[in-house]
Amino acid sequence: MVAAILLLSACTKNLTEVTTVYENDFNDGNLKGLQIVGWISNFSTGIFPETAKLLNYQGSTMIGRLNNSRAEVTVNSLPEHDVVRVEFDLYVHETWRNDVFVMRFDDQFRLITGFSTDSTVKQAYPNWVGNGSIEYPAGNLAQEIYLPSPCGKNVARGTNRYKMIHSMAHTQTSFKFDVSDVGGTLNDTCNRSWSVDNLKITVLNNQ
């Protein structure tokens, strides 16, 4: 009997409890608290109306096309946890030449990288841009390349899709996530833009 109890204890020790605290495929058009902040005109920024930045692409609804914009969401009342994990599909559309893409957790930089769709320009991703790290061919680590242009343009590299997964130690009861970009001409979303789909935020509690 003692041996059985010890075995049960060994099997249940250090289990990790995973709780999904935010999940959105955007197919119903509900942003669930996510906001898009960007250039309403070439002279002022603001929060876009909820339906203004929903894109129908490849049979799925996602937030996009974004250009010099920021997507952000704050999740409150988190259960006890040790780690937060964020995953999403990132689509980079049209012409990127190691243009900057930024990810922040709780207003702290988690990634400042660069993506390219132009085969003549290398990209920083998955490394940070501008820190002297090695650069890679355009489209490096993409799950899909050569997807069509959402604007219907006849371009060789219309869209690349990346699966982004990032985690960090975290114990606070709220969590803010945001992603943004810098580059190209303001509001010119048919020459350079990005979209996000299948956003999921989970917290992990090591018991």
In-domain check, residue 9: no
State the total domains in the chain: 1
In-domain check, residue 1: no
- What is the 3-state secondary structure of the chain? CHHHHHHHHHHHCCCEEEEEEEEECCCCCCCCCCEEEEECCCCCEEECCCCCCEEEECCEEEEEEECCCEEEEEECCCCCCCEEEEEEEEEEEECCEEEEEEEEECCEEEEEEEEECCCCCCECCCCCCCCCCCCECCCCCCCEEEECCCCCCCCCCCEEEEEEEEEEECCCCCEEEEEEEECCCCCCCCCEEEEEEEEEEEEEEEC
Lowest mean pLDDT among 73-82, 116-125, 153-162, 163-172: 153-162
Q: What is the CATH number of the domain that holds 141?
A: 2.60.120.260
Q: Which domain holds residue 37?
A: 17-206
| pTM listed for this prediction | 0.90
In-domain check, residue 113: yes
pLDDT value of residue 7: 42
pLDDT in tens, 58-108: 999 999 999 999 999 999 999 999 999 999 999 999 999 999 999 999 999
Instruction: Tell me: pLDDT of 113 over 60.
Output: yes
In-domain check, residue 171: yes
Instruction: Tell me: pLDDT of 45 over 50.
Output: yes
In-domain check, residue 98: yes
In-domain check, residue 2: no
